[in-house]
Amino acid sequence: MKTKLFIGLIVLLLMLSPLVFAQSRDTGAIVGKIADEEGNAIPGASLVLTSPNLMGSRTTVSDANGEFRFPALPPGDYALKAELTGFGTYVQENIRVTTTATLNVNVVMKPAAMAEEITIVAEAPTVDVKSTETASVTLSNEILRNVPYNQFTADIVNLAPGVSGNVAYGASENTGIAYTMDGVNVADPEGGSAWVFSDHNVIEEAKIMGVGLPAEYGNFTGVIFNLVTKSGGNELSGHFEFNFQGYKADSKFWQAENTGAYLADYPNLTSPSSKLTDINGHLGGPIIKDKLWFYVGGQFYRTKNRPTGFPEDVDYKQPRFFAKLSAQVDPTLSMSGVFQTTAYNGNNRSASSVRSPEACVTQDSPDWLASFSLTKILSSNTFFDLKTNYFKGRYYLDPEVGFDPYTHRNLNENMRFFSDGDFYYADRARFGTNASLTHYAEDFITGSHDFKFGVEVERSMARTRYGYTGRGGELGDNIKYVDYWGYGAFGYLYSGNYLAYQYEGYDTNTRYTRLEVFAQDSWQISDRLNISLGVRFGQNWGDVKGVDGAVFKSNHLDPRIGFTFDVLGDRTTILKAHYGRFSEAMLTAYHDRMNPLSQFKDYIGYYFIPDDNDPATTGGTWYEWFRITPTEYTMDDNIKHPYMRQYTVGIERELFKDASFGVTYINRKWDNIIGRYNRAAQYNVIDYYSPELDRTFPIYERTMDTLELSDFIITNLRKGSEYPNILTDIYRKYEGLEILFNKRFSNRWQLLASYVYSKASGTRDNGFGGDIGWGEDPSDPNSYVNAEGCLTNDFTHMLKVQGTYILPLDISLTGYFRTITGFSWTTQVMTGRLNQGQVTFFAEPRGANHYPMATTLDLRLEKIFTLAGKYRLGVIFDVFNVFNDDTITTWGTIAGFDWNAGTYPSTDGHELYTLVRPRQARLGLRLIF
């Protein structure tokens, strides 16, 4: 029924209009009206738009109402010239166009007798009066080039308001973010995390948006993070850069220590640190002026990080190459093509304070990407846009010591030794294409309309192989050992051997096809009121290798409606409100367990019984404890696609030239959360006493007769009689208030400042993949003990300030200040051995505590020297964490295991895991021409 309704709506729109004017994901637009000093419309005026980022110039003529429009403009600075016989020439400069924004530029022309030419120092609008989009930011090239950060492109999203640790406005970590480049998806098809890592100096602009978006945007529940890549130009240009950041071991100049407050408890504690070498070079220019441009870049990016309490480097080498050709085939047709190849290779991955160096893995991750885009301007009112890309890569993790040694986890020391104990091989590929047609219809059904219609098609593949390592021991291969010294289960005295788990692993090959179409209308009813209407329909088919047909099917219909109202009638104060439904990305994680049973191996548990209670005796016997044999999973016939519904209301105000201020209220709720529920599992309530907390808790022990039984269904998790082990309603919600001030670069300074006050709460956490079937086991009723409360990524207060000021002598000073509430944490209890093994449960409501706020200031000084008139040499000095903050970011929370209760919030009793990085310095050189 929904499908028929949507098709009917599309047919109606096709009949009513010549179809779909606006901007695309990586372009903007300029619209306006020409009038005389009395406010009378001037038709027939010639307008010419120019920019260094535009091949040639764009021209148009004002219509009968004096209106004009320039669609599909690449981001950059523009100059507008208007001419008409009898009037002086009008020139407006420094009009800053950003992606997805439509700027209103009104032109007032004076009679020629009064002025032959009028040049305006632009007061380009900072508020989009027609878009319901709010709380979005554009990180321009000026910001990205000046703000001190780690220069890793996937982390740019964390510079934005409302985003921290790849969590955006309460959404799941990574999964909720749509990672796109030049408007096309480049995320991991399995879990949605960032996959393609580009050279930071090929980025022209980064746009982070997610609040109040029209139907054009989907496949996310957090934000869309779009990177727009650079193009060449009519002049040869270059950018060569070198950055270096050292360890304290290299020199005290590079790094301070921030462990002093904790050394009494942890005398061997070391500060986390990082070493960076970044060498990159880029050239762009014309092959044929105004017709064909090139842009190429190469980078070698190497990091050596050392986590708190780990004695060696986590060493990553990342070579990258980027090439782009841009062509203006004729005045109305432009095309571009990109090829990129990168690698992400390193060792000591998984390093932490609870692993020895040999218990880490190496990573081998090369990938390549090719993309193509085409824009055809059919008229000043209509244009067609096509984007397509393909990427392929792998992500392989191998134990550093090879496949022979076994891993051993020492429970007494809470450490892993001898090997990481598993391997992980991920092969990924994605093909995607987006096409849209946009059209502006004037005086059509009461007012003017910006129609847009589009389609997205995607085909993706994720092959994943995983298993335990270790060979030649008495229990066989593929074993992880758990060691313990002392009295354990059943009163035995253990001298090492305690538990073991055997798993040969799995090999899944999962694919999907995604088809989405949308229609939207920005309906300007009057000069002050604009209504945004839209709908987005998606159909997904999930399939696996070796199984005929689709094993997963879902569709969704996402309505969007909102309005903007010009409060004062002068385009400076805009009230915005919006309601929308936003469906989660399509991912192979939903249906990877539908692969054939032959691709999954048994999971076997063993326990050890010592020969006697002499601590010097290590002999004994291993017994099989349980064996979980893979069974077929069932896909719920009525499964629904997960989504987030969102209400927003806000007001944006243009304060003065190049500056805007906004306040936005955001209300979000997630629904149709997917999980894997074992219908065969049954539990009995038991009382469990925690001596550390001196409390008894009712918890759940699995019955022995169902311990090895499984009957899994992949479904939308919900409380009810058919799912008796789900003890609470499944939900996640977010409320936030965002205050945003944005001053674009002009008059020697720029500033982006934001404050977000929010609460993320629910019964299902917002960690990585929390709403797509990963995370907490929904079949285990212990998951619902004290499950309601603040989510892990609940950043109550988030203040960010990024600003640049150009001092005398061409010295620029840039600061990035932030203070953010830490993760929430919960006191937990780990049981002894139950039928199903050890269980960890919450001893208090979820997220009852928060780590303290981390307050950090990073500074950059850059001195520019001009050489030979055209070369600019920049000498850069960065200082990170200027005040050497020492905030703890994670510590032990399991009573009696890694926390013996002391005086909160001191570290007394907590195993300290991670701190913020201490004060560090970085030096850089760059030559730009």
Q: Is the pLDDT of residue 8 over 80?
A: no
What is the pLDDT, as a whole number, of residue 418?
97
Provide the CATH number for the domain around residue 752: 2.40.170.20
pLDDT band for 10, please (50, 70, 90 cuts).
very low
Mark whether 373 and 235 lie in a shared domain: yes
* pLDDT class of 86 with cuts at 50, 70, 90: confident
At residue 644, φ and ψ (nearest 5 deg) are -130, 130
What's the confidence (pLDDT) of residue 21?
Answer: 38
Residue 906 pLDDT more than 60? no
More confident residue, 555 or 274: 555
CB 231 within 8 A of CB 237: no
In the numeric block, the tokens 């529940």 are attached to: 221
What are the tokens at 73? Answer: 């403009």
Average pLDDT over residues 628-633: 92
pLDDT mean over 412-438: 96
Q: What is the pLDDT of residue 119?
A: 63
CATH of the domain at 37: 2.60.40.1120
Same domain assignment for residues 243 and 211: yes
* pLDDT of 820 above 70: yes
Any domain includes 87: yes
Q: Show the CA angle centred on residue 312, arms to residues 267 and 876, nearest 5°.
A: 100
128 lies in a domain?
no
Asked if the model's pLDDT at residue 144 lies above 50, the reply is yes
pLDDT score, position 907: 62
Give the per-residue pLDDT at 903. 53
pLDDT digits (tens, 9 = 90+) for 31-79: 989 998 888 899 989 999 999 999 889 999 998 888 898 988 998 899 9
Does 442 have pLDDT greater than 70?
yes
pLDDT digits (tens, 9 = 90+) for 703-746: 999 988 999 999 999 999 999 999 999 999 999 999 999 998 88
Q: Do 113 and 261 fall into the same domain? A: no
**Which residue spans within 703-748 are E strands per DSSP?**
712-716, 732-746
Residue-range definition of the domain harbouring residue 115: 2-121
On average, the pLDDT of the chain sits at 91
Which three-class secondary structure string do you get for 186-218?
A: CECCCCCCECCCCCHHHEEEEEEECECCCCCCC
The reply to whether 109 and 161 lie within a common domain is no
Half-sphere exposure of 727 (CA within 13 A, CB side): 14
Highest mean pLDDT pick, 5-19, 262-276, 465-479: 465-479
Of 64, 94, 121, the position where a domain reaches its end is 121
Same domain, 255 and 112: no
* Residue 39 shares a structural domain with residue 156: no
Q: Tell whether 258 and 111 lie within a shared domain.
A: no
Query: Do the Cβ atoms of 703 and 716 come closer than 8 Å?
Result: no
Q: Is residue 126 part of a domain?
A: no
Which pLDDT does position 84 carry in this prediction? 87
Q: What percent of the chain has pLDDT over 90?
A: 74
Amino acid letter at 856? Answer: T
Q: Which residues pair with 19 in a beta bridge?
A: none
Amino acid 304: pLDDT:
94
Dmax over CA atoms of the chain, in Å, equals 110
* Interval 280-316: pLDDT, tens: 999 999 999 999 999 999 999 999 998 888 999 999 9
Residue 127 belongs to some domain of the structure:
no
For strand 840-842 and strand 828-830, is the pairing parallel, antiparallel, or unpaired?
antiparallel
Query: How far lies 47's CA from each of 83, 550, 610, 864, in Å?
Result: 7, 54, 89, 37
Assess if residue 129 is contained within a domain: no
For 340-391, what is each residue's pLDDT tens digit? 999 999 999 999 989 999 999 999 999 999 999 999 999 888 999 999 999 9
Give the closest residue to 663 by CA, choosing from 742, 587, 605: 742
Residue 132 lies in a domain: no
- Strands of 192-344, DSSP E: 203-209, 223-229, 237-245, 273-288, 292-306, 314-330, 333-343
> What are residue 297's DSSP bridge partners?
282, 322
What is the Cα–Cα distance from 232 to 297, expressed in whole angstroms? 11
pLDDT confidence band for 117 (50 / 70 / 90): low
Q: How confident is the model at residue 1 (pLDDT cuts 50, 70, 90)?
A: very low
**Same domain (yes/no): 500, 586:** yes
Bridge partners of 638, per DSSP, are none
217-262 tens-digit pLDDT: 999 999 999 999 999 999 999 999 999 999 877 788 899 999 988 8
Residue 131 domain-assigned?
A: no
Q: Is residue 29 part of a domain?
A: yes
Asked if residue 267 and residue 171 are part of one domain, the reply reads: yes
Least confident among 135-144, 581-590, 633-642, 785-794: 135-144
Closest C-alpha among 884, 881, 768, 837 to residue 188: 768
Radius of gyration of the chain (CA): 30
Same domain, yes or no: 653 and 793: yes
* pLDDT-above-70 percentage for the chain: 95
Q: 472 to each of 479, 776, 857, how far by Cα in Å?
A: 10, 34, 53
Give dist(CA 623, CA 602) in Å, integer: 16
589 pLDDT tier (thresholds 50, 70, 90): very high
pLDDT attached to residue 122: 46
Total tally of structural domains belonging to the chain: 2
Q: Does residue 885 have a pLDDT over 50?
A: yes
* Residue 19 pLDDT: 34
Average of per-residue pLDDT across 763-774 = 91
Of 280-289, 316-325, 404-413, 604-613, the range with the lowest mean pLDDT is: 604-613
Categorize the per-residue pLDDT at 614 as very low, low, confident or very high, splitting at 50, 70 and 90. Answer: confident
Kindly report each contact of residues 827-831 with a partner whose C-beta sits within 8 Å and lies 24 or more positions away, as own/partner: 827/693, 827/893, 827/895, 827/899, 828/893, 828/894, 828/895, 829/688, 829/690, 829/692, 829/693, 829/697, 829/894, 829/895, 829/896, 830/894, 830/895, 830/896, 830/897, 831/688, 831/699
Among the candidates 58, 88, 121, a domain finishes at 121
Do 89 and 207 lie in one domain? The reply is no
Domain-ending residue, one of 121, 153, 171 = 121
Average pLDDT over residues 100-127: 73
* Distance separating alpha carbons of residues 136 and 861, to the nearest angstrom: 28
So what's the pLDDT on residue 7?
Answer: 41
pLDDT on residue 116? 58
Same domain membership, residue 366 and residue 310: yes
Asked if residue 121 has pLDDT above 60, the reply is no
- Look at the chain and count its residues: 929
Phi and psi torsions of 580, nearest 5° = -155, 155
Structure tokens at 856: 């950090």
Q: Which residue has the tokens 């980078």?
A: 299
Res 15: pLDDT: 37
Provide the pLDDT for residue 172.
96
Q: Determine the 3-state secondary structure of 782 from DSSP.
A: helix
- What per-residue confidence (pLDDT) applies to 874? 96
Cα(246)–Cα(175) distance, integer angstroms: 33
